[in-house]
Structure 1
């Protein structure tokens, strides 16, 4: 279907602003630009309300705990460890504050957002190590977090990559996984990488820059390592998943290939492609009613996954 008009308007605004691409800006400038597109446009009126927000540490990394409004039920809330997107290079607790608030409120879950180390200052596997440490920490602290038995892990883009890896590496701890347009196969060749190579926010030069930063100085990386490309990993015994993709996204096909691999391994997977939308749509609701509706649907599916 055609590109969503609200998204098209946003993309045109970004193009008209004349800012250099992330791949030409350097990490620090790109990080500030991401904040400008996310947390800096939130007002008190548009901030999603939740019961409480607490700063903490998870597995040795700064983290933020979001709790739903109201009294905790007798059997507790599920806990969701959330790993933000940003190509392993940009993004932080603030850029994904609204996303975590939506998930906490709509999915009725305690959300633990984790500020994992970023490349190129901390290349692979630092982000993987931090993600696994955070999941282990959340499992150990479920009683004072959600209080329920269910522990999920989720994230968007690079965070989806880390979430898929955590579900594979820690199958005895992770009960559910939320994968929002995940990066799953660094070396793969997919039609969506050609069809959506430019013009839809995430483009191929940006993807190549992200991977270059993530592997900067790493001389012994096997690009088929499942802690880089989880599509190459072991799917036996991994948790049920919600996996979502966007039509105009270079990562679309590898995300859908991951859903296929989960299903082939006998894993329950709720998969949805949101037509007309681009990579990053969960942060585009202020500009697009279609993106807002898609985010609400993702949250509803996550609620069903965590409360099954």
Structure 2
């Protein structure tokens, strides 16, 4: 029998608020790989997930898995303050506009945010807490876009929605309080994949874009484990599993040949002239770590300004953990600071 959501949330919050020594006693011996030590908070959270047999979304029917993803992110995200949040439609898909506390009506910086979830899961609610924190800590408006999901809508539906949403923002900047000269596009995991694709389109079409914010992005759908050792090293036991990745691949890309399409593998795309600067965040214990970092290096080699930041003690999905513990929240706050700097937002 599942505990009520509020009790689950309180339990996780209490466990991850314990002193490090107490957490270590509960979590067990440190997990070390590649000279990195997994955060004790994260290790304890993973152990608690196993003890209570928290359902894995990828092992459930897709509709139930989506509900479970939303439930789990609420548990670890908590209720985060924000100036305001309102739902709207953008280029035919649902969206949510977050405005930081104290924002004026004058046009300002705005981040178009694309959620993760292997193109199958996630939405406005799964990433609500994350977007609220980015909004408040960076002092910028955030427009979260709820693109179409697979398997109901296969490739290139998500890509097309992401590009259409960004074009809409450029054309309707005043409606969302955005300064066209201070626009960013970003996302995590599959959303980072889409954000990289949008950035390439913006460069080719001459659309304004000041920053691409890529958080543990999926960049190469061909995903050869020989090329990216992190896939084999962290594909089990660190939240993001091989099964989850395979479900996303099979659902979104029914034709294996599409894996090499630059619209789903931005790492394989040409680097266009005028591509926006990139901030790329990866997690040390993440199957997608190596392909994200390979993408950052490729952009840098092509002359694109890139800041690459590996959060060595974190796992895939750490951007959700803004309501529990300390380490993941500190990482998200650091990402927000990079967003603030990249868009020239006023200091807090």
Report TM bin, short chain: over 0.9
Residues 31, 305 of structure 1: alpha-carbon distance in 2 compared, 3 angstrom cutoff: same
1:256-276 CA-to-partner distances (Å, cap 9, x unmatched) read: 001001101111111100011
Q: Which of residues 215, 231, 239 is equivalent to 1:201?
A: 239
1:203-251 CA-to-partner distances (Å, cap 9, x unmatched) read: 11211111111124xx484321111100011222211111000000000
Which residue number corresponds to residue 283 of structure 1?
A: 320
1:116-135 CA-to-partner distances (Å, cap 9, x unmatched) read: 00000111110001001100
Partners of 1:33 and 1:188 in 2: CA distance? 26
Partners of 2:297 and 2:49 in 1: CA distance? 34
Which residue number corresponds to residue 181 of structure 1?
A: 216
Matched, 1:97 2:128: yes
Cα deviation for residue 107 of structure 1 reads 1.3
Instruction: Please list every run of 5 or more consecutive structure 1 residues that lacks an aligned counterpart in the other structure.
Output: none
Matched, 1:54 2:86: yes
Q: Give 3-state SS (helix, strand or coil) of 1:47's partner.
A: coil
Aligned length: 302
Q: Which of residues 107, 112, 115 is equivalent to 1:84?
A: 115
Partners of 1:124 and 1:192 in 2: CA distance? 25
Matched, 1:270 2:301: no
Cα deviation for residue 139 of structure 1 reads 0.7
Q: Is the 8 A contact 1:10 1:287 kept in 2?
A: no
Q: Which of residues 278, 288, 309 is equivalent to 1:241?
A: 278
Partners of 1:235 and 1:49 in 2: CA distance? 38
Q: Is the 8 A contact 2:260 2:268 kept in 1?
A: yes
1:147-201 CA-to-partner distances (Å, cap 9, x unmatched) read: 3221111000000000000001222223211000000001132110111121000
Instruction: Please list every run of 5 or more consecutive structure 2 residues that lacks an aligned counterpart in the other structure.
Output: 1-35
Which residue number corresponds to residue 59 of structure 2?
A: 24
Partners of 2:257 and 2:223 in 1: CA distance? 16
| Alignment RMSD (CA, Å) | 1.6
Q: Is the 8 A contact 1:241 1:268 kept in 2?
A: yes
Residues 16, 57 of structure 1: alpha-carbon distance in 2 compared, 3 angstrom cutoff: same
Q: TM-score, normalised by structure 2?
A: 0.83
Q: TM-score, normalised by structure 1?
A: 0.93
Partners of 2:47 and 2:296 in 1: CA distance? 32
Which residue number corresponds to residue 168 of structure 1?
A: 200
Matched, 1:226 2:262: yes
Partners of 2:148 and 2:294 in 1: CA distance? 28
Bigger helix share: 2
Q: Is the 8 A contact 1:241 1:305 kept in 2?
A: no
Q: Give 3-state SS (helix, strand or coil) of 2:173's partner.
A: coil
Q: Which of residues 129, 140, 150 is equivalent to 1:109?
A: 140
Q: Within 5 Å, give how 1:252-263 maps onto structure 2.
A: 252-263=289-300
Partners of 1:220 and 1:280 in 2: CA distance? 26
Greater gyration radius: 2
Partners of 2:213 and 2:294 in 1: CA distance? 15
Which residue number corresponds to residue 68 of structure 1?
A: 100
Cα deviation for residue 71 of structure 1 reads 4.1
Residues 24, 142 of structure 1: alpha-carbon distance in 2 compared, 3 angstrom cutoff: same
Cα deviation for residue 41 of structure 1 reads 5.3
Partners of 1:160 and 1:225 in 2: CA distance? 16
